[in-house]
Structure 1
Amino acid sequence: MTALDNRSSVETSSTPSPGLYTYDLAPTKKEGRRWGAYNVFTLWANDVHSLGNYAFAIGLFALGLNVWGILAAFALASVLLFLLLTLSGFMGHKTGVPFPVMSRIAFGIHGAKIPAGVRGLVAIAWFGIQTYLASSVLSTLLVAMFPGLGRLDDDSLLGQSTLGWITFLVLWGLQVLIVSYGMQMIRRYMAFAAPTTLITMCALAAWMFFRAGGSISLSVGDPLTGGAMWLQILQAAALWVVIYGTFVLNFCDFTRSARSRGAIVRGNVIGIPVNMLFFAAIVSVLSGAQFKLDGHVITSPTDIVRTIPNMALLAVASLALIALTVAVNLLANFVAPIYALVNLFPRSLDFRRAGLVSAVLGLVITPWNLYNSPIVVNYFLGGLGALLGPLFGVVMADYWLLRRSRVNVPDLYTEDAGGDYHYRRGYNPRAVAAFLPSAAIAVTVALVPSFHAAAGFSWFIGAILAAAVHAVVADRSAAARDVDGEAIAVAAE
């Protein structure tokens, strides 16, 4: 029995199209859902404590915020993220479909390739970059343990040393292996990595606190005050939400397997507000303790890990950071392009094959060269990232405001001209019309230097504009067909 067979008592004349429906894109059946509150929590326990997030948070000290300002920024951001991610998560739980299929509701059965493609491109690039960052930690550890390997780090092939290639391919292969076993293996890996990460970071913070004599510096230099401080707090909170602009789009890839709405809410409460404030406290201890010790502002926890005098402890801490980075990569940067590729080539790709294709693409772009090019990171990836806000605005406005969360799930998989999401040849021109100008404005604000002061808010600007425009121009008669009828296919119910 396929997932579409689990439609309760709903009757439909729609015929699933092989170009839209596969096992991996099908809505999950209620009895097959295994994600509880702990699994949702482990998403955030891993992702929040990523090396990139630590670098961002630690950088707030250098920008003039003191400990209390940083805690305020994360408290505000966590409330916003909890609301956005909970709404996004409910969409996945109710319909049981992944993000590329969810996008068909607003953009049409073929127009959904636009948001899925943008999300996939961003993820593939960052998959390669994160793998490279983890491989750098592994290379450093190996040289520390076996100094003779240092000679393998002196040459260069396509911008990467021999040792760098070895460590990159090892971690690249490990992630491909994990993904080849599907979402359940990813769930198990997260369940292992989350407590490992939390214990390691707590131990590292405690070690630094005692090294600093049981106290820390609450600021670096002269901290900001008054209006300048609050502006920086708002910008920091906004940028923290932007970092999760990818996750708020495709959170349904994970919550489609959640057992209940309650599991999503409980997992999000502990994983977002509680965990993020815990994260901010660790950042404050690490940065404040290091600054008190030598007046140096660290850029990442790896700066501290490298100073651990005991080789065994150094190895444990380094491996924990590597395990963490792999977990983040699997969550944020591997699952999304897999579903995007399956959606693009449903007849030839399944979850495993799409994972391999995504991984190969993440390798051939030589991500170390991308990471070392500020132009590529700031303009190409930054520009793509700015598109995520408008996409989110259109999808959320369409689902919550226009359709009031009622969706005809079988019609998401049919190419019949009479299907609810066929629109015009499979594209919803009204959704595209809402997205394009909003995206142009968001990208302009994000990248044009004269808008630098507002750049941190580009995601919000794009999302709000797109939602407002879509709410005005959308075809309400089409949405009403979903809202008014009670014969609505919902995979979870």
Structure 2
Amino acid sequence: MWKHLKTPPQTSTGRQALRRATGSVLYTYDLAPTKREGRRWGAYNVFTLWANDVHSLGNYAFAIGLFALGLNVWGILAAFALASVLLFLLLTLSGFMGHKTGVPFPVMSRIAFGIKGAKIPAAVRGIVAIAWFGIQTYLASTVLSALLVAMFPGLASLDENTLLGQSTLGWITFLALWAVQLVIVSYGMQMIRRYMAFAAPTTLITMCALAVWMFVRADASIALSIDAPLIGGEMWLQILQAAALWVVVYGTFVLNFCDFTRSAKSRASIVRGNVIGIPLNMLFFAGIVVVLSGAQFKLDGRVITSPTDIVRTIPNMALLAAASLALIALTVAVNLLANFVAPIYALIDLFPRKLDFRRAGVVSAVIGLVILPWNLYNSPIAVNYFLGGLGALLGPLFGVIMADYWLLRRSRVNVPDLYTENPQGEYHYRHGFNPRAVAAFLPGAAVAVVVALAPFFHAVAGFSWFVGAVLGAGLYAIVADRKAPIRDVDGESIAVAAE
């Protein structure tokens, strides 16, 4: 383990911490805290997270669906303005945790749940991410299949058979994109950072150009709503629901944002990147959504369900290919960010002696393949109950972790003790589990799942994440042990450069 250190610890306390840490299965190169000089993510890199992730195909489908549900243009803009403010606050709090400690989410979870109990939130986050990795790869593969058929009509015959729910062409395009993502991840976080820096401007320019093209086609005007828009209290309830659901979409990212901000140069870079990437970028996204949906509705009275519906109507083959490839590049970027990094760290935490970043990436990708994600996506029961139920668990996890870090500890963390199995360690609690955190999480999780899935609560199901987060934080604030000593010790003596 010494060979990974840039400088040896200079104090006796640091050397003792290093010996404790490096002798523990909890410490690996990939899970170790990043050193200050190894942090290369500036404001632009943080911005590219959101420039890529916000403009995903799934997000466009969700946002355009608001137009179909009856929200007018101003209602959609209001929903995204409210959601962006909430997300900016939540993600900045979460991001500061990563910058302060330099540790990834599975290690961050040890603060509240204990060195063994942390596997619970890491596993939940990882399972959700792997399922969505497969689904997003499938969505991108459908765009690639449509492009190939448009360019080479003879390939249409390969899209007519079915093998395990996919056509031959579907399997070819899915496996091709699956392999591309695996190659990118195999080069580590720095390659992901570089890919995002390339994909972000490409995505923004392409989607803006697509919106301008649609606006011109519609004679420089758009429909402000469908024929029977929501009004009054019903409209405001839908706006609040839409804003809440948008936060739920990012419930996964809110949890493990520290996986990225652990490499941030400063708090200021996180704030600047979030300001440009969340409120400004999300309103830009909302503007594109209302232009696309409003222009298409004015043209033929049809409510589209995805940007791919518009891309397929582009008459020029070169423009069609450029737009399709941009959507594919975008979806790959989203997958790398939201659905690949989290399970990689979770798997390393679960099997530290067997897996490193590259091997964990292979395992995540294989699982994302064998679950046949297109069957998940095409099954409302699977998406709503399995993924919806797991998603509802993210709220109370966030609530407990935030309450422990900000309210109880006031951001004071003993980083070396996050890597020790010594029973005297600060995060050993009871046999490695913090029963108080578990006791706060379980009721919050139960209520959140019921609100999310029970038909009786259908009208407020969109608020399940917030219900779980508030309950988890409130219960933990009540039952937490405030007499336990809380020390603030950084991890510089055991940090390695995450390159």
Which residue of the other structure, out of 122, 137, 144, is the alignment partner of 2:143?
137
1:385 match: secondary structure? helix
* 1:46 and 2:64 correspond: no
* 1:489 and 2:490 correspond: yes
Per-residue deviation, 1:63:
1.3
1:382 match: secondary structure? helix
Q: What are the within-5 Å matches in structure 2 for residues 99-138 of structure 1?
A: 99-138=105-144
Distance 1:280 1:128, change over 3 A: same
Whole-angstrom distance in 1 between the partners of 2:12 and 2:293: 57
- Which residue of the partner structure matches residue 198 of structure 1? 204
Whole-angstrom distance in 2 between the partners of 1:4 and 1:343: 23
- Which residue of the partner structure matches residue 405 of structure 2? 399
Whole-angstrom distance in 1 between the partners of 2:46 and 2:210: 25
| 8 Å CA contact retained: 2:413, 2:486 | no
- 1:178-202 per-residue CA deviation (whole Å, 9 max, x = no partner) reads 0000000000000000000000000
| 8 Å CA contact retained: 2:412, 2:486 | no
Q: What are the within-5 Å matches in structure 2 for residues 321-470 of structure 1?
A: 321-470=327-476
Whole-angstrom distance in 2 between the partners of 1:240 and 1:408: 34
Whole-angstrom distance in 1 between the partners of 2:204 and 2:247: 22
Whole-angstrom distance in 2 between the partners of 1:3 and 1:489: 16
- Which residue of the partner structure matches residue 300 of structure 2? 294
* 1:63 and 2:69 correspond: yes
- 1:75-98 per-residue CA deviation (whole Å, 9 max, x = no partner) reads 000000000000000000000000
Whole-angstrom distance in 2 between the partners of 1:3 and 1:69: 53
- Which residue of the partner structure matches residue 88 of structure 2? 82
Distance 1:262 1:451, change over 3 A: same
Per-residue deviation, 1:9:
5.6
Whole-angstrom distance in 2 between the partners of 1:268 and 1:288: 28
Whole-angstrom distance in 2 between the partners of 1:333 and 1:18: 28
Whole-angstrom distance in 1 between the partners of 2:274 and 2:457: 33
Distance 1:464 1:6, change over 3 A: farther
Which residue of the other structure, out of 252, 255, 272, is the alignment partner of 2:278?
272
Whole-angstrom distance in 1 between the partners of 2:234 and 2:349: 46
1:329 match: secondary structure? helix
| 8 Å CA contact retained: 1:142, 1:149 | yes
Q: How many residues align?
A: 488
Distance 1:199 1:10, change over 3 A: farther
- 1:433-454 per-residue CA deviation (whole Å, 9 max, x = no partner) reads 0000110000000000001011
Larger mean Cα displacement after TM superposition, 54-63 or 247-256? 54-63
Amino acid at match of 1:280: A
Whole-angstrom distance in 1 between the partners of 2:278 and 2:446: 31
| 8 Å CA contact retained: 1:10, 1:489 | no
- Which residue of the partner structure matches residue 98 of structure 2? 92
Distance 1:489 1:444, change over 3 A: same
Whole-angstrom distance in 1 between the partners of 2:12 and 2:452: 45
Amino acid at match of 2:252: T
- 1:284-343 per-residue CA deviation (whole Å, 9 max, x = no partner) reads 100010000000000000000000001111001000000000000000000000000000
Per-residue deviation, 1:64:
1.3
| 8 Å CA contact retained: 1:238, 1:457 | yes
* 1:153 and 2:154 correspond: no
- 1:334-385 per-residue CA deviation (whole Å, 9 max, x = no partner) reads 0000000000000010000000000000000011111111111110000000
| 8 Å CA contact retained: 2:178, 2:365 | yes
Whole-angstrom distance in 1 between the partners of 2:150 and 2:362: 32
Distance 1:465 1:180, change over 3 A: same
- 1:403-461 per-residue CA deviation (whole Å, 9 max, x = no partner) reads 00010000000000000000011000110000001100000000000010110000000
Alignment root-mean-square deviation, CA: 1.4
Whole-angstrom distance in 2 between the partners of 1:435 and 1:6: 39
Consecutive aligned runs of 4 or more in structure 1 exceeding 6 Å deviation: 4-8
Distance 1:416 1:220, change over 3 A: same
- Which residue of the partner structure matches residue 208 of structure 1? 214
What are the ranges of 5 or more consecutive residues in structure 2 without an aligned counterpart?
none
Per-residue deviation, 1:5:
6.5
Whole-angstrom distance in 1 between the partners of 2:322 and 2:334: 18
| 8 Å CA contact retained: 1:95, 1:491 | no
TM-score, normalised with respect to structure 1? 0.97
Whole-angstrom distance in 1 between the partners of 2:430 and 2:394: 24
- Which residue of the partner structure matches residue 244 of structure 1? 250
| 8 Å CA contact retained: 1:3, 1:29 | no
Whole-angstrom distance in 2 between the partners of 1:182 and 1:272: 25
Distance 1:477 1:268, change over 3 A: same
Distance 1:158 1:105, change over 3 A: same
Per-residue deviation, 1:8:
7.5
- 1:252-300 per-residue CA deviation (whole Å, 9 max, x = no partner) reads 0000000000000000000000000000000010001000000000000
- Which residue of the partner structure matches residue 18 of structure 1? 24
Distance 1:491 1:442, change over 3 A: farther
Per-residue deviation, 1:228:
1.4
| 8 Å CA contact retained: 1:82, 1:273 | yes
Per-residue deviation, 1:229:
1.2
Amino acid at match of 1:118: V
Whole-angstrom distance in 2 between the partners of 1:20 and 1:169: 34
Q: What are the within-5 Å matches in structure 2 for residues 304-315 of structure 1?
A: 304-315=310-321
Distance 1:8 1:237, change over 3 A: farther
Whole-angstrom distance in 2 between the partners of 1:314 and 1:351: 36
1:171 match: secondary structure? helix
- 1:13-58 per-residue CA deviation (whole Å, 9 max, x = no partner) reads 4401432000000000110110000000000000000010001111
What are the ranges of 5 or more consecutive residues in structure 1 without an aligned counterpart?
none
Whole-angstrom distance in 2 between the partners of 1:311 and 1:96: 47
Whole-angstrom distance in 1 between the partners of 2:114 and 2:51: 35
